[in-house]
Amino acid sequence: MKSSLHQLILALRDRIQTGEKPPKMKQQCKMARTGQKDLAIAWQAAMILEGRRKVLTSSQTKLDKAQAEGTGYMNRGLTLSPADEARAYLWPKFTTCPGATDVCTEMCVGSKQGQGKLSSSEIARIGRTVAYYVDSARWWQWYDLELSHSARQAAILGYKLAMRVNVASDNTWLAEESARRHPTVTHYDYSVIPAAVRRPNGVHRVYSRKDGRDKMTLKMLNEGHGVAVVFDVNPRKKKNELGEKVHDALPATWNGYPVIDGDLHDLWFLQAEHIDGPFVVGLRSKGTNAQREDARFKGFSV
């Protein structure tokens, strides 16, 4: 990590502790626009470590579907910076997605599409990521507190709690540590790291197919594991003959393996319980028409 950034975060934490009111996100975004992005990131990290910003993601479109679709689960997530997004603030070659390809980085739903493109979302992601490496003990303290609170809240409302540690990243060790700390919470994940899928260590995992990796994807299926595949299917809902909004259908099978709808809600493991053997979590290609065309051309979607 850049020593200057580290020292700045420590100084800002001192200022918060002595009663200074941190800048709101609108002000942090203005800092980023006017050439003070380091300062915006530093404030965000300092606020997280001082308990003035949440670590967990409690409201996100796909996570929220768990309750909306009547799964019996409340869903939470951790949205860190994907791939090399936080590299400039940490160290050369830093990545949260060791198996990322250029195309999946370009198509990342966590940073390149929807609300993930917003400056506020980027500052929040990088701030959370940097905060971990500034003071991991303090970071875990807030993480544990928030997740335990969510578990109690879910129980009071009659739900189970599901946790996706890697909403935009692929930190398999982080997910496993969370599962160790919170064994009563159901953890699930997508990962491009075969060893992590083979040895999940308390985390429901599927292998995430990337462009050019069909051989490994089929190998994982042959071994009995689930895999996630992006299909070139329109992600936008259309009205059927009854006037209901529905997605365009995913294929029933891929390479002979049954496909479940991963866009119905994020808790793919609930659908997988009804399948005997390996399966495919089907995801519709997201983004603009140009992004979807690029994804198809480069083999990210099938």
Which pLDDT score is estimated for 243? 77
- Residue pLDDT, tens place only, 200-247: 999 999 999 999 889 999 999 999 999 999 999 988 888 887 777 788
For residue 62, pLDDT over 90 is answered with: no
Q: Quick one: pLDDT at residue 158?
A: 96
CA torsion angle 241 244 247 249 (round to 10)? -40
Q: Which two tokens stand for residue 268?
A: 């793919």
Residue-level pLDDT at 225: 98
**Residue 76 in contact with residue 151, Cβ under 8 Å?**
no
How large is the average pLDDT for residues 97-121?
Answer: 77
Which residues are CB-neighbours of 167 under 8 A, at least 6 positions away? Answer: 57, 60, 63, 77, 78, 79, 80, 110
Give the count of beta carbons closer than 10 Å to the beta carbon of residue 268.
23
The domain limits of the chain are: 1-51, 54-297
Q: Which pLDDT score, from 0 to 100, does residue 26 have?
A: 96
- In the prediction, which pLDDT does 117 show? 67
Q: Tokens representing 105? A: 């980085």
Whole-number Å distance between alpha carbons of 212 and 99: 12
Contact present, 224 and 202 (Cβ < 8 Å):
no
Backbone angles phi, psi at 203, to 5 degrees: -120, 125
As a whole number, the mean pLDDT across the chain is: 93
Strands (E), 156-256: 160-164, 186-191, 203-208, 227-231, 238-239, 245-246, 253-254
What is the pLDDT, as a whole number, of residue 105?
84
Residue pair 284/235 in contact (Cβ under 8 Å)? The answer is yes
Query: How far apart are alpha carbons 268 and 173 in whole angstroms?
Result: 21
Residue 111, pLDDT above cutoff 90: no
pLDDT level of residue 115 (50, 70, 90 thresholds): low
Per the rule left: phi > 0, alpha: psi between -120 and 50, beta: everything else, 228 is beta
d(CA 50, CA 141): 11
Furthest CA-CA distance within the chain: 62
Can you tell me the distance from the alpha carbon of 104 to that of 209, in angstroms, rounded to the nearest whole number? 10
pLDDT at 185: 98
Who contacts 164 (Cβ-Cβ below 8 Å, separation ≥6)? 63, 75, 76, 77, 78, 187, 188, 189, 266
Q: Which of 99, 88, 287 is nearest to 191 (CA)?
A: 99
Q: What is the pLDDT of residue 102?
A: 85
Q: Contact at 8 Å (CB) between 57 and 46?
A: no
Q: Which amino acid is at 12?
A: L
Q: What is the pLDDT of residue 246?
A: 80
3-state secondary structure of 153: helix
Per residue in 170-181, is it b (16+ CB within 10 Å) or e — as a string? bbbebbbbbbee
Quick one: pLDDT at residue 241?
78
C-alpha 260/C-alpha 127 separation (Å) is 35
The pLDDT tens digits of the residues spanning 144-197 come to 999 999 999 999 999 999 999 999 999 999 999 999 999 999 999 999 999 999
pLDDT band at 103 (very low <50, low <70, confident <90, very high): confident
159, two tokens? 């739900």
The pLDDT, as a whole number, for residue 112 is 54
